[in-house]
Every structure is written in structure tokens, then in C-alpha cells.
Structure 1
Amino acid sequence: MEIKRDRYLKALKVRMHNGMIKVITGIRRCGKSYMIFHIFKNFLLESGVAEDHIITIELDQRKNKELRNPDHILDYIDERIKDSEQYYILLDEVQMLEDFEEVLNSLLHIGNVDVYVTGSNSKFLSKDIITEFRGRGDEIHIYPLSFKEFMEAYDGDQYKGWADYVTYGGLPLTVTMQTEEQKIQYLSTLFDETYIKDIVERNRIDRIQELNDLINVLASSIGALTNPTKIEGTFRSVIQSNISVNTIRQYIEYLKDAFVITEAQRFDVKGRKYIGTPVKYYFEDVGLRNARLGFRQVEETHLMENIIYNELRMRGFKVDVGVVQKRERDAEGVTAKKQLEVDFVATLGSKKYYIQSAYSLPDAEKIKQEKASLISINDSFKKIIIVKDVINVRHDEDGVEYINIYDFLLQENSLEL
């Protein structure tokens, strides 16, 4: 069964003919090539574009080795542009092209071409194209499968699907695999042989064990506030390593550049300003995170939080960690400031949502705890608690909305319910 990935097709469609290079970014194996060479190309053909007006070049293919030369590829493209009609150029693994900047600049000056490129490996990251073509590069970031996309291809109900998704994540190939052994081997090998190898080669890292240790530390603490100084303390006390704070900071940047992890900053809700460190880190794919730890720490509470964070970003939201300052009086009547946390402040244009992730709400005390930060925010934006428990959408006396994880993930308009 084909996974449609309509969100990304729509993003490509609205950017057609905008005079910019469309740069498809994303973690390795998330489906970038499939998106442009299969889904987008089929859309063009169904829209009436002649096949000979779609020029596709997979630069990692041996048969296209000669086209990695800038003059050869420009000649190849020029030979295929035979009239003034619109042409579409789809280039995969563009980092394999010598002097790719010059080639893409040349293509920008051809009036009747629309250019789409992907690329991400140890010698080049899609981020570099965005930097190189600032103002002329238009990024479409592709994520691993959302839970909704995952369920389109999954053979089972949503509850069994959730158990698989929270364990093995959403890299497209995993959903086609029949056994747990296949998935475990694929994800474990992919992390070591692709992601780690790319980062090491690209950044010429000698202390590979320290990079591996850092990834393990980050994987063990998803959703926890941290910073390079705290992590350095962990290295000293637990791993007995003398890695420096600057090295940790560099390695974190490398992981972010490769789209392995993402950083969520803290935002002072009442003061309307960003706070420095500490921050939170989440993994682009929870299956990769679990593989990194040998599937020994599949803690659904934290993984659910990571999945909610990723889903919000897939929907286009800027996602921060909310901080709410509140004054409370203790038993002796002394007033003191207390800092409360909102798991996510999700912002998109004029829309804003305050969201808590709560695996379960077994009693009134737990509900009170989860609500505390939300009801301390004095504005009209929606306050939502997403729970694992299967419940109908409801609102309580404080205006807080409760929605279950399945409704949130499977309904695109779930935040509007």
C-alpha cells in the first residue's frame, strides 16, 4: 500500500514555479527521494506534464557518474530542453555533483525550468544548500512517517499500531518489515553505519566513543532539561571521561545538522521572551532513539512526549517549552516564586496552543499537577492536555481541554476540536 504523504506533496505544489530552488531536507532514509521521484513526479504526469519535460537525475547511481561533472550535467540538461515549455529538474544526492553551487546557479538563470534537489550525507548536508542559496532556496523538510501516515500502511488496529510506532518509529522501511528482528537489525545498523558514519566523516571526528556516549546520554534523557555543562558533569561522574563542554556543544550541533535530534528552547510565557539554557532535546525518530539504547529503555511516557513534539513540528508549529512564573504562599504564609513548566507552547502565525503530555491521569491529584501551569496562564489561547487514556474530547471547569493521543495524532484538525 502506498503512503500518500499529502502534506509534503501540498508543500511542493504551492512552491512550484516560484523562481527558487526547492531543497528537500530531512534525516537519511525518511523518504526524500521517494517523495520527488515517485510521488511528485506522478503528480506532474497526472497534471499533464509530458514525461520528456521532467528531467530526473539520481547522482548516486553508477550509470550517472559522468553527470557529476558540472559541464557534463549542464550539457545533458541543455540537450533535453527543446522548447519554451516548462521543464522540471529533479536532482537526487546533489552533493555528489562537483561545484554544485555553480550548477544550481546556472539552472536558476534558465527561465523555463523549475528545480528540486535533495542531498544529505557525510560530505554535504541539505542545510549547506539553504545557507549557500539564502533567499533563493526554498526548504521543504520531510520527517519520518507521522502516526497517521504509519497507520495508512499498517496491518492492524490503532492500539497495536501505537505499540509498534512507539517502539520502532516511523522510518518508512520499518512499516514494511514483518518481524521484530528485522526492524531491530535495520534500525541498529542504520544508526551505526549511516548516521554515525556520516557525522564522523563529515566533521572528521577522532573521538568516536565520546560521540557515541553523548548520543546515549541524550537518548536516555529525552524531554529532560539539560545543557552541555550538565552533560559534561555526567561524563565526568558516570563515564569517567574528560570531554570538554565545547566538544559536547560541537557534537550536539553535528547531531542537529544531521537532523538526528532537535532542540526545544524555553520560553517565558508571561514575560514573552526566550530563556537561555537549559533546553530539551528530542529525537527526529523514536525508533532510532530506541535502537541507540538497544531497545532497553522504551519508556512510553517520554516517548509519547517526543512523538507529540514531532507531530506539532510536522504540522508547521514552532514548538518551545513553556515556563510560567507563579507566586505561592507556603504553610507559614510566606510568599515565594515558583516556576511551572508547560510541555509545549506551539505557535503558528496567530495560532497558539499550550499543551501538556500526560500518559495517564489516574486521580484528582495528578490532574491538578498537570493543570497547574496551564491555569496559571492568563490569556485566551487553548490549554490542552493530551492523554494516553482513551477518552472523548472534553473540557473541564477551568477551560482545559482533554484529548486522547489517538485522536490528536490521527485527526489533522485535532487541536481545533
Structure 2
Amino acid sequence: MSQLAENLIKEWWSNPAPTIIPRDVDLMPYYNLPVKKIVSLVGFRRVGKTYILLDFAQKIGKENCLYINFEDERIPKDVSFLSDVIETLTEISGAKQFTLLFDEIQNIPNWSGWARRIVETTNHKLFITGSSSKLASAQLPTELRGRSLTIKVDPLSFGEFLRFKKVDINLLPEPNQLNLVREYITYGGFPEVSLVDEGTKILIINEYYNTFVSRDIVERHKIRKVELLNNLIKLILNSPFYTISNLTKSLKLMGFDTGKATISRYISYLEESFFLKNLELHTPSIKKRGKASRKPYLVDNSFLFRFSTEFSNNFGRLMENIVFNNLANVYYWQNYQSKEIDFVVREKEVNTKLIQVSFVEAKATIRKREIDNLVLGSKILKCDDLTLITWSVEDVLKINGKIIKMIPLFKFLLNL
């Protein structure tokens, strides 16, 4: 029996459960699946994966499961320790079936072969989490393909944010509603950040960012050119568009000896960790799409507010980042005259919705180009569902036979 494994098991069973605010992600439907699967929760670090597991543990009973966080410094980075845990669990409890809740399991090398064996040869259920997209179904090691289900965990939605704040926004006057929206798009949706005062928020955001860079990028990928990486992230944080070529040129002008292959690889690491998502140009030409500029969006607004010198006080950009994170199957559109639509939503190869985002507090302040671009895009893209997401204006515009719905950001976020 492994003494460390025994200690971890007994610590789990003896320690009191934390107070948990429920999220919208519910693992109970995955508890008694007709086919045995590994259930994988993936997402950026500190978005709440651990507390979703702990909430699940309380629902099924702590005595029926085992939670281990593999970022615990006591745990050796050796796959044999995973087997030690199962053997120790069997020695303590016999043949009882357990639900294994293994947090950040990707820290253990070669964990996937062990996971397959556990699912195929024991009666235990396995739920895992990780802050790398390589735990998602599409990128899992070959031996686990078809044997897992992936649940993506994001920072708090606006509805969850209000739940954490214990607020019914419908009961508040408009200034108070907008104050909550302002806090949400400024400091983002990390659960811990939403619960503390403004000064502490900044300290936590700093810690999250530094830990992400050092552990999820530098240590995980053995990056030696750390200064190059840091400056690349700064460029992305301050760029409305980018190409690999332009980033490489900018970094060379800053004195770095680098090439497009290195920059492309570093960007893939940022995407793999869920920090960065890229929006591509809407065009039927795959070649043109590959060469076109990408629009960068971040996993959480807090990083844009805290670390972007260009966009930290740009509420239009902060709004746009939040809207992007609430959309799926989306592109941007831009013609040869650089007339642009922020988001083109597509379903089954059909353009279903065109969305512009603008910090508009009064109808009279709407920029003409926002409306003109929607009308032009509607004709070219053959889409009549047109939306302008504003800060606080709600109205309907009729322009050249087109109807444009103006929706306040908080109503869009709540699907009101």
C-alpha cells in the first residue's frame, strides 16, 4: 500500500466539503451513461472545473468517490502512482465501485494508457479535468479515441455571474444593471474574481496570468525564449487583427531572432491552453481564409482589461470580446474597402445572423458606418437577421428595407 495514496484518500474522506455555488454545468446526466466513457472537463485554469467536480461529489456522496488534484506537489510525476491509488483504494474498500475525480491529470506522463485500462478492466468511473485542449475528444491520445466525452468549461456566463453576486437584475433600476454589466465586462467571469473586492480582483488576475504563462506555456512546453513569448502575448493583446508574418516582423524589429515557425508554434500553445481564440475571415476560399488576418479574442475579459494598453479602457472592444465568447460557428466579414461586420453566424453553411457590437449609450450617437456595414453585408451575404448590440439602447431601425434590432448587451447575454 502506498502511504501517500492512503493519505490522499483519507484526507479526501475526512476533510469537510467546501461551500459551492452551483454552475450551469451539471455532471449528473453523465453519471449513469449506458456506455462506459471517460468524462473529460476541459478549459482554462481557474474557470471552475474543480468546483464542478466537487459539486458533483456532494451530489453522489463523498464516500462514493475519490478526488485527487494532480497539481499537488507531493504527487510524483509517474504513471505508476495512478496504479498505486487504485491498489490502495482496493485494499481499503475492497471491490466497491468508486467514481474517480482526477483534476489536472495531464500533469502525469502517459496517463492515457492507464485511463483506458481502468475504464476497460475495472468497475470504476473516471471523470478527469485539464487546462489543455489535448484532453478534448478530438485531441486525445489514440488509445482513448471513442472512449471519452468532453465538456468545455468556460468562465462564468453573465447569468452565473449574477448568481454568484446573489442579484436578480430584473429587480434593479437601469443604472444598477449597467454597473453590474460594467463590472462583468471589465473584470471578467473567473468565479473567484467575481466574489472579491476591486483591489483584490487585480491581484488575483495578475496571479492567474503569471501562473498561466509560467506553468501552462513555459514549463509545459519547455519554452526557453521566455522574453520572446511575453512580447508576443503583448502584441496579440494589443492587436485588433494579426497575421503570423506581421507578428514575426514586429518581433524582429524589437530585436528578437525568430521566425514564423516559432511564432506559429507559440500561438498554437496559447490556443491549446484556451487563452486565445482566433476568428477567421468569412470567405468561400479556403486559401484566402488561411492568408487573411485573424482577429484575436481572449478567454476572459480580465486579461484584456489588465494587460492590454490599447484596449483596457475601450468598452467597445471589451463588449466585442464578451459577445464573441457567447457565439459559436462564427466568422468576421470584410470587403476590399475594409468595410467590416464583427460577427457572421453560420449554421449548416448558411449565414443566419449578422452582428455588430458598439458602445452606444444613445440612439443619436450610433456611428453611421455600423448601420451601413450591416445593410451592405446583408445584401452581399444574403442574410436579413441583423443585430446591433449596444451598451444600453434598445430599439428597431428600418433602413433601406432592412430591419436592424438594437439590443442592450445585458439582454443579449441573458438571451432576453
TM-score range, shorter chain: 0.7 to 0.9
Shift in CA distance, 67/196, structure 1 to aligned 2, threshold 3 Å: closer
Counterpart check, 1:192 vs 2:223 = no
Counterpart check, 1:19 vs 2:36 = yes
Q: Which amino acid letter does the alignment assign opposite residue 203 of structure 2?
A: Q
Instruction: Give 1:190 shift.
Output: 2.1
SS in 2 for 1:400: strand
Q: Please give the alpha-carbon distance, in whole angstroms, between the structure 1 residues aligned to 2:294 and 2:377.
A: 20
Counterpart check, 1:131 vs 2:146 = no
Shift in CA distance, 266/409, structure 1 to aligned 2, threshold 3 Å: same
Number of aligned positions between the proteins: 379
Partner residue, 1:225: 241
Q: Please give the alpha-carbon distance, in whole angstroms, between the structure 1 residues aligned to 2:303 and 2:67.
A: 31
Q: Which amino acid letter does the alignment assign opposite residue 177 of structure 1?
A: V
Counterpart check, 1:275 vs 2:295 = no
Q: 1:150 aligns with which of 138, 161, 164?
A: 161
Superposed, 1:315-354 pairs within 5 Å as 317-323=328-334, 338=337, 340-347=339-346, 352-354=352-354
Show CA shifts across 1:167-222 (max 9, x none).
211111111112x221112111221234334311111212111111111111112x
Task: Give the conservation status (yes or no) of the 8 Å contact 1:232–1:243.
Answer: yes
Shift in CA distance, 318/112, structure 1 to aligned 2, threshold 3 Å: farther
Instruction: Give 1:98 shift.
Output: 5.4
Partner residue, 2:152: 141
Q: Please give the alpha-carbon distance, in whole angstroms, between the structure 1 residues aligned to 2:349 and 2:99.
A: 35
Shift in CA distance, 350/19, structure 1 to aligned 2, threshold 3 Å: farther
Partner residue, 1:328: none
Partner residue, 2:315: 300
Scaled by the length of structure 1, the TM-score of the pair is 0.79
Q: Please give the alpha-carbon distance, in whole angstroms, between the structure 2 residues aligned to 1:395 and 1:196.
A: 51
Q: Please give the alpha-carbon distance, in whole angstroms, between the structure 2 residues aligned to 1:278 and 1:296.
A: 19
Of 352-361 and 60-69, more deviation after overlay is shown by 60-69
More strand by share: 1
Partner residue, 1:234: 250
Q: Please give the alpha-carbon distance, in whole angstroms, between the structure 2 residues aligned to 1:272 and 1:296.
A: 30
Instruction: Give 1:241 shift.
Output: 3.2
Partner residue, 1:330: none
Partner residue, 1:390: 393
Q: Please give the alpha-carbon distance, in whole angstroms, between the structure 1 residues aligned to 2:98 and 2:373.
A: 54
Partner residue, 1:104: 115
Counterpart check, 1:245 vs 2:260 = yes
Instruction: Give 1:243 shift.
Output: 2.8
Task: Give the conservation status (yes or no) of the 8 Å contact 1:19–1:108.
Answer: yes
Q: Please give the alpha-carbon distance, in whole angstroms, between the structure 2 residues aligned to 1:55 and 1:196.
A: 29
Scaled by the length of structure 2, the TM-score of the pair is 0.79
Task: Give the conservation status (yes or no) of the 8 Å contact 2:393–2:406.
Answer: no
Shift in CA distance, 380/348, structure 1 to aligned 2, threshold 3 Å: closer
Instruction: Give 1:404 shift.
Output: 1.4
Q: Please give the alpha-carbon distance, in whole angstroms, between the structure 1 residues aligned to 2:220 and 2:356.
A: 38
Task: Give the conservation status (yes or no) of the 8 Å contact 2:340–2:373.
Answer: no
Of 364-373 and 163-172, more deviation after overlay is shown by 364-373
Q: Which amino acid letter does the alignment assign opposite residue 29 of structure 1?
A: R
Task: Give the conservation status (yes or no) of the 8 Å contact 1:33–1:92.
Answer: yes
Q: CA RMSD in A?
A: 3.3
Q: Which amino acid letter does the alignment assign opposite residue 359 of structure 1?
A: F
Q: Please give the alpha-carbon distance, in whole angstroms, between the structure 2 residues aligned to 1:234 and 1:98.
A: 36
Instruction: Give 1:105 shift.
Output: 0.9
Instruction: Give 1:272 shift.
Output: 9.3
Shift in CA distance, 73/350, structure 1 to aligned 2, threshold 3 Å: farther
SS in 2 for 1:243: coil
Instruction: Give 1:9 shift.
Output: 1.2
Task: Give the conservation status (yes or no) of the 8 Å contact 2:103–2:128.
Answer: yes
Instruction: Give 1:67 shift.
Output: 9.3
SS in 2 for 1:41: helix
Of 129-138 and 145-154, more deviation after overlay is shown by 129-138
SS in 2 for 1:27: coil
Of 207-216 and 56-65, more deviation after overlay is shown by 56-65
Q: Which amino acid letter does the alignment assign opposite residue 385 of structure 1?
A: L
Shift in CA distance, 383/251, structure 1 to aligned 2, threshold 3 Å: same
SS in 1 for 2:281: strand
Shift in CA distance, 146/68, structure 1 to aligned 2, threshold 3 Å: farther
Shift in CA distance, 402/390, structure 1 to aligned 2, threshold 3 Å: closer
